[in-house]
A and B are shown apart, each in its own frame.
Chain A
Amino acid sequence: MTAGVVATKRLTAFVALSLAIMCQPSLAEPYLAVQKGLKCSMCHTSPSGGGKRTAYGNVYHQAELSERTLNMGDLWTGELSRYLAVGGDVRGGWNQIDVPGQRKSSETDLEEFLAYVEIRPLPRYLTIYVDAKLRPEDPVVRSQYVRLSIADNRWSIKGGEFFLPFGLRLQDDDAFIRQVTGINFNTPDTGWELGFEQEKWSAQLAISRGTAGGPEVDSGKQYSLRVSHVTPTWRAGGSLNFNDTKFGDRQMQNVFAGLRTGRVAWLAEFDFIIDDGTPTGRRKLWASLVEANIALKRGHNLKLTVEYFDPDTDVSEDGQNRLSLVWEYFPIQFVQTRLGYRRYDGIPQNPAQNREQMFLELHLPF
Chain B
Amino acid sequence: MGRRGVLLLSLLSCGIVSCSPGNGEGLDISGRPLNEGGNVPLAATLASVQANVFNPSCIVCHAGANAPQGLRLDAANSFTNLVGVPAQQDSSVLRVAPGNPDQSYLIQKLEGTASEGQQMPLGGPPVSQSTIDFVRQWITDGALPDPGGPADMPPTVTSLAPDPDSIIGDLPTEITAGFDQDIDASTINDMTFTLVQSGGDGRFSEGNEQAIVPASVTLSGANPRLAIMDLSGVSTIPDVYRVTLHGSGANVILGINGVALDGEFAVGFPSGDGTEGGDFVVEFEVRGLQPSLASIQNNVFTPTCSVVGCHSGPQGPNLPSGLDLSSSNASFSSLINSVSVQEPAILRVAVGDADNSYLIQKLEGTAAQGSRMPQGGPFLDQETIDVIRLWIDAGAPQ
Asked whether B57 lies within 8 Å of A217 as measured between CB atoms, the reply is: no
Write out, one digit per residue, whether chain B residues 218-231 have a CB within 8 A of any chain A CB (1) or not (0): 00000000000000
Q: Within 8 Å CB of B123, what residues of A? A: 173-174, 179
> 16 A-B contacts, Cβ less than 8 Å apart?
A179-B60, A182-B61, A182-B66, A182-B67, A212-B70, A217-B268, A244-B65, A266-B9, A279-B74, A289-B16, A290-B13, A308-B19, A312-B31, A318-B32, A321-B20, A345-B20
Q: Of A218, A248, A311, A317, which is within 8 A of B23 by CB?
A: A317
Q: Which of the candidate stretches A47-55, A82-90, A97-105 sits at the interface with the other chain?
A: A97-105
In whole angstroms, how far apart are the Cα atoms of A315 and B9 in the complex?
A: 28
A104 → chain B, closest Cβ, in Å?
A: 10
Write out, one digit per residue, whether chain B residues 1-28 have a CB within 8 A of any chain A CB (1) or not (0): 1000110010011001101111111111
Asked whether B64 lies within 8 Å of A275 as measured between CB atoms, the reply is: yes
Is B69's beta carbon under 8 Å from chain A?
A: yes
Q: Within 8 Å CB of B68, what residues of A? A: 182, 186-187, 212-213
Q: Which residues of B are at the interface with A, using a C-beta cutoff of 8 A?
A: 1, 5-6, 9, 12-13, 16-17, 19-33, 36, 56-57, 60-61, 63-72, 74-77, 88, 115-116, 118, 121-126, 128, 267-268, 270, 272-274
The verdict on A212 contacting B6 (CB below 8 Å), with A182-B61, A259-B1, A319-B21 known, is: no
Asked whether A215 lies within 8 Å of B9 as measured between CB atoms, the reply is: no
Asked whether B27 lies within 8 Å of A97 as measured between CB atoms, the reply is: no
Q: What would 6 more interface pairs be, CB under 8 Å, given A182-B64, A219-B273, A352-B56?
A: A105-B125, A174-B123, A246-B272, A247-B72, A277-B65, A312-B31
In whole angstroms, how far apart are the Cα atoms of A105 and B127 in the complex?
A: 11
Asked whether A233 lies within 8 Å of B1 as measured between CB atoms, the reply is: yes
Q: Within 8 Å CB of A173, what residues of B? A: 122-123
Asked whether A247 lies within 8 Å of B23 as measured between CB atoms, the reply is: no
In whole angstroms, how far apart are the Cα atoms of A318 and B21 in the complex?
A: 7
In whole angstroms, how far apart are the Cα atoms of A181 and B66 in the complex?
A: 7
Q: Which residues of A are at the interface with B, using a C-beta cutoff of 8 A?
A: 97, 99, 102, 105, 111, 137, 140, 173-174, 179-183, 186-187, 210-219, 222, 233-234, 243-250, 252, 259-261, 266, 268, 273, 275, 277-280, 288-290, 292, 306-308, 310-312, 315-321, 345-350, 352-353, 355
Asked whether A345 lies within 8 Å of B21 as measured between CB atoms, the reply is: yes
The verdict on A347 contacting B31 (CB below 8 Å), with A275-B64, A280-B36, A311-B60 known, is: yes
Q: Within 8 Å CB of B17, what residues of A? A: 306
In whole angstroms, how far apart are the Cα atoms of A259 and B272 in the complex?
A: 49
Q: Of B28, B61, B65, which is within 8 A of A275 by CB?
A: B65
The verdict on A348 contacting B23 (CB below 8 Å), with A179-B60, A181-B66, A248-B64 known, is: yes
Closest to B76 in A: A279
Asked whether B22 lies within 8 Å of A346 as measured between CB atoms, the reply is: yes
In whole angstroms, how far apart are the Cα atoms of A303 and B28 in the complex?
A: 34
Q: Within 8 Å CB of B22, what residues of A? A: 316-320, 346-347
B289 → chain A, closest Cβ, in Å?
A: 30
Q: Within 8 Å CB of A245, what residues of B? A: 65
In whole angstroms, how far apart are the Cα atoms of A353 and B272 in the complex?
A: 38
Q: Of B6, B29, B274, which is within 8 A of A261 by CB?
A: B6
Q: Of A213, A306, A310, which is within 8 A of B88 by CB?
A: A213
Closest to A307 in B: B16
Asked whether B26 lies within 8 Å of A179 as measured between CB atoms, the reply is: no
In whole angstroms, how far apart are the Cα atoms of A338 and B6 in the complex?
A: 27
Asked whether B60 lies within 8 Å of A347 as measured between CB atoms, the reply is: no
Q: Within 8 Å CB of A278, what residues of B? A: 63-64, 74, 76
Q: Within 8 Å CB of B88, what residues of A? A: 213-215
The verdict on A318 contacting B27 (CB below 8 Å), with A212-B67, A215-B88, A308-B16 known, is: yes
Closest to B59 in A: A278
Q: Within 8 Å CB of A214, what residues of B? A: 69-71, 88
Asked whether B24 lies within 8 Å of A261 as measured between CB atoms, the reply is: no
Closest to B112 in A: A107
A224 → chain B, closest Cβ, in Å?
A: 10
In whole angstroms, how far apart are the Cα atoms of A307 and B74 in the complex?
A: 24
B159 → chain A, closest Cβ, in Å?
A: 15
The verdict on A290 contacting B60 (CB below 8 Å), with A213-B68, A214-B71, A349-B24 known, is: no
The verdict on A211 contacting B70 (CB below 8 Å), with A275-B64, A311-B60, A350-B56 known, is: yes
Q: Within 8 Å CB of B115, what residues of A? A: 137
Q: Which 6 A-B pairs have the closest CB atoms?
A: A214-B70, A182-B66, A347-B24, A250-B65, A317-B22, A174-B123
Asked whether B64 lies within 8 Å of A277 as measured between CB atoms, the reply is: yes
B310 → chain A, closest Cβ, in Å?
A: 22
In whole angstroms, how far apart are the Cα atoms of A140 and B6 in the complex?
A: 43
In whole angstroms, how far apart are the Cα atoms of A308 and B27 in the complex?
A: 19
